[in-house]
Structure 1
Amino acid sequence: MMITLPDYALDYMDNLIQTGRSKLTLKQYESDLKKFFSWLAVYKENTRFETVKALRAEDIRAYFQYLKEKQLSQATIRRLASVLSRLMIYHQCVCAHEIHKLAEASPLRSLTTKDFITLEEFNKLSRQLLTKDLEVTKKSARNYLLTRNWTIVALLRTFGLTPFDIHSIMMKDLNLAQGELMLTRDKAPLTLQLPHDIMAKLRDYYFSIPESFRPKYYSNDPVFVAFNNISYSFQFDYDRQKPKALSVRAIQEMIKDEVRRTGLRKISAVNFRNAAILEELAAGTSDEKVMEQFHLTSEAALRRYKQYLQAESKG
């Protein structure tokens, strides 16, 4: 997602220029702040000053959880926290004092078996995702979303995507005829060849959406559309004149609900991603390709998986 800094952030950048910061430092600050505002535009659906002023500890915690899901090193997260903290202090935001404390919480640790979803667990979850509710209750709205939800979980596990990745996929990124999905990345885009079963379910989901709400081919419409559990209908954003994108939080809640239904231990999208990364490394994929495919930004993040594999082989 391309984003420009809002005016109040540009005001802060101007202040940095006046204090004599180098061009290199300013460029790094701008890049770091854009990461935050790209996330905020999705999490709060706007980047207005009033929204930033109203942020609380739980919001900042959600941001750092997002960064950790992207497998950033603790050093990188500390740097992002420092830049964000200074912006918040400059504008006297109440959450400024929480930022460093939350950034330091839960540093990268050694991986254990609990960090990965097993094949048995995934197979159980896959079957549950396609099992209809027999009772007509408020929650039976999920019966309309079986193929959508199955596809999302399959993409998370197969390619190690994050909920943010899923939320951000647009119709122009998806080629239904060729079965290809292109992920927009900072450098070169990454093209994924979708397996037949994922493509079949994805098409089923797509054509289950009423035509008036259906995302348009080759457009900026979201592939995964939000659903109203009360009216049993897909949602449309009339201000933007396009279907409303399924939110990151809704994806996380869907996974939590389906895991609970299946009777599994606590499992999240991070467990799917970890399993996908480990699988690639175990298959002998090069470090460079793994880092590119999973958008890892540091060798420290990759090292944890390699250490786990080594420990497993010795065990």
Structure 2
Amino acid sequence: MEYMFPPFIENYINELTRKGRKSSTIKRYMYDINDFAYWLHKKRATTEEINWKSISREELELFFNELIEKRNYHVRTIRRIHSVLKQIASYQKSIGQSELKSIEDIAPPELNYSLLEESEWITLREAQQLFKTLSSTIGLSEQQIETFPFYKERNILIVRLFLHYGLTLHEVHNLSMNDIIFERNQIKVEQEELVRYIQLNEKDKQLAYSYFKTIPEPVRPRYYSNDPFIVAFDFKRKTFHWSYELDQPKRMSMIAIQKMLRVEVKRAQLRKGISAQTLRNTFILSTLLKEISSDELMQRIGYTTPLSLKRYIDTVNSLKINQMKLLLANGA
């Protein structure tokens, strides 16, 4: 499906033609631009023309996250799409038009197979500090303290699903009641044709059930339904959101999950940059340190090729003893 692009997109394509770019190259660029536009319209649930100045950093991160984790695009493809979007932003700036600041500033996705840096995982101390803060009212206003008991367990569960089970942002966001099997302590995770079952420990199963029961019954997700499991909270009304359009609880968006994690990291006085991917990285590295087989780990985290684990395996093999001790965060 094609969408009406802002006029500057057509001007940019015309500029490429004027410079003598091959028709195959221009066709490829148009495909990439259309792909991003389709994703953006779908994410915002609109068919109206979108002002690209309004595109946020979070939306760009989610887009590239989908290319990497859900579509499993090749490194070269993702870098090309990133380059196309950056060139559009540069073109706008070069002709003195309104700047596309978020696109201009977006860093290229981490796609190379170099070793992970220490900033790309969290330590045991950081994990403990984060969970301590998630359970406390430290740094909250009186108004926030009033609503804190409603969403506290939800937020803790989200972080534990990233850090202790290696789920992706997309997977946590997509969880529905059909995927929650309380009687077996299991979560079903579907990724394209691949389906895997995550076995929760008893503590986390109880946490998941306690969060579920915290949601007031009139807006609570229904058992064995497509109702979302991770529900958005309405701070103004001091209850969980209900979507009247869909006649079900409102799913917590990926952007809202990212924001929640950033807020909690800041409240815990931890370093900037800790994200869902950081927590998933920690799970993968600390699980590899337990010397389980690559095949078993691939099954747990939903990878389909050993190449996806190479960067993590090489990183673990390079770690020093003190780094290994600091890394064992998924036992926190």
The answer to whether the superposition gives a TM-score over 0.5 is yes
Aligned residues of 1:72 and 1:297 also touching (Cα < 8 A): no
Aligned residues of 2:168 and 2:276 also touching (Cα < 8 A): yes
Q: Give the equivalent residue in structure 2 for 1:121.
A: 126
CA distance, structure 1, for counterparts of residue 277 and residue 60 of structure 2: 16
Give 1:82 deviation, angstroms: 8.4
Indicate yes or no: 2:214 matched with 1:213.
no
Query: Against the structure 1 CA distance between its residues 189 and 227, is the aligned structure 2 distance closer, same or farther, given a 3 Å change threshold?
Result: same
CA distance, structure 2, for counterparts of residue 270 and residue 113 of structure 1: 13
Give 1:68 deviation, angstroms: 7.3
Q: Give the equivalent residue in structure 2 for 1:62.
A: 61
CA distance, structure 2, for counterparts of residue 228 and residue 235 of structure 1: 5
Greater mean deviation of Cα atoms: 176-185 or 71-80: 71-80
Indicate yes or no: 2:181 matched with 1:182.
no
Indicate yes or no: 2:279 matched with 1:278.
no
Aligned residues of 1:129 and 1:258 also touching (Cα < 8 A): yes
* Secondary structure in structure 2 of the residue aligned to 1:274: helix
Amino acid at match of 2:287: E
Amino acid at match of 1:290: L
Indicate yes or no: 2:127 matched with 1:137.
no
Q: Give the equivalent residue in structure 1 for 2:294.
A: 287
Q: Give the equivalent residue in structure 1 for 2:327.
A: none
Query: Against the structure 1 CA distance between its residues 211 and 228, is the aligned structure 2 distance closer, same or farther, given a 3 Å change threshold?
Result: same
Give 1:40 deviation, angstroms: 5.8
Q: Give the equivalent residue in structure 1 for 2:175.
A: 169
CA distance, structure 1, for counterparts of residue 126 and residue 107 of structure 2: 31
Amino acid at match of 1:286: S
CA distance, structure 2, for counterparts of residue 230 and residue 137 of structure 1: 14
1:220-267 superposed Cα distances (whole Å, 9 cap, x missing partner): 100011111122111100011000001111111111111122222222
Q: Give the equivalent residue in structure 2 for 1:77.
A: 78
Greater mean deviation of Cα atoms: 57-66 or 173-182: 57-66
Give 1:39 deviation, angstroms: 7.5
Q: Any gaps of 5 or more consecutive residues in structure 1?
A: 1-5, 10-20, 22-28, 86-93
Aligned residues of 2:221 and 2:228 also touching (Cα < 8 A): yes
Map 1:8-87 to 2 at 5 A: 33=35, 41-42=42-43, 44=44, 46=45, 48=47, 50-51=49-50, 56=55, 58=57, 61-67=60-66, 70=69, 74-78=75-79
Greater mean deviation of Cα atoms: 68-77 or 205-214: 68-77
* Secondary structure in structure 2 of the residue aligned to 1:230: coil
* Secondary structure in structure 2 of the residue aligned to 1:224: coil
CA distance, structure 2, for counterparts of residue 249 and residue 152 of structure 1: 13
Structure showing greater radius of gyration is: 2
Aligned residues of 1:77 and 1:103 also touching (Cα < 8 A): no
